[in-house]
Structure 1
């Protein structure tokens, strides 16, 4: 074995990140490191020379097939969100990266799995806590609401907003005025509408965006750059 290959083998086994080497179009497992065995609960005997399909390692087999195709087309992938399954059935949230390599002249793929399960649980707990506060948030200032909205959905502040529901021009106008802290009477005056008409617009708006109170509508709007 060449010195570079011996060095790679040593780094592979001692790496704190879970790693797997597969070969062939079917991605048969040929090597796993200690971190991967610790992550998934499997032994060498259970993993080596097996297919991921045989072991049901991936929660979404279709996603694995898509990533394998991308690896063949682009020679690698970086930082994809995936879910693995522990031997005991527990779901593991991971970031996976992979790269095509050659081992003893054989085309292979090295996979790296970063376990982010604890971080993901923390994010979900934070969202639940913020949602609990927002259930009765009429007393919160708009600046605090903006900050809570950003914490609840950090992707929005990074410029990656979730898909928006199609709103009519009038519904968008009503939503923007709600974000300005106007009540139904003030909105009716601003738009030259009756209060009953405004209430109907608000009801349809709430139904479309899936909320049932003004504070939640404001958060929904700010997450999508409406009324900000």
Structure 2
């Protein structure tokens, strides 16, 4: 790939990250909403819908640009979150070592939390390694999200959206895994006072029967988008 500059760069192929024509033609559009005498004063609903759609697309483009531009930091914190998410599970095992009684359900939940932490860490590591350097270069040279989005090929847009959704799901899975670990740890410590402890009631929605299912769902969605299964299925 040639040196990035303001000249037109042409790249052939259906799986290119950047578009076939990277020159950006700026187009200034103005929408005037005048209320003339004799004209209806009611706003055009189609114009409102179009404006909302453009706003959503611009917000998506800006989010994708920010994500790719700061991807190294994003994936670093995702990997860190995955590691921290199993901290309560480690605390649970320490309690076991020091003689606290742990039933089979708590043991299974603790093992499940460790597995989820490992999977989310590996997904974050894989996601970071799979981001094409051309994407990073493009995000650094683009002045804004809209310019970045326009320069992407359709395949590049799929890669960015898939990586973004996957990163969000990885973060969500790590967060809920941490809360599930807190529930298991607290359940081991205060099982005799479960109904009276405020902390147990707060963490109750994150017990393995509920939190575990949510975590598994988020992890599967993250993997599906990260490996491109979703867009391949849609096509």
TM-score where L is the length of structure 1: 0.27
Higher relative CO (Cα under 8 Å, sequence separation at least 6) belongs to 2
TM-score where L is the length of structure 2: 0.26
Which has more helix, going by share of residues? Answer: 2
Which has more strand, going by share of residues? Answer: 1
Give the greater-gyration-radius structure (CA): 1
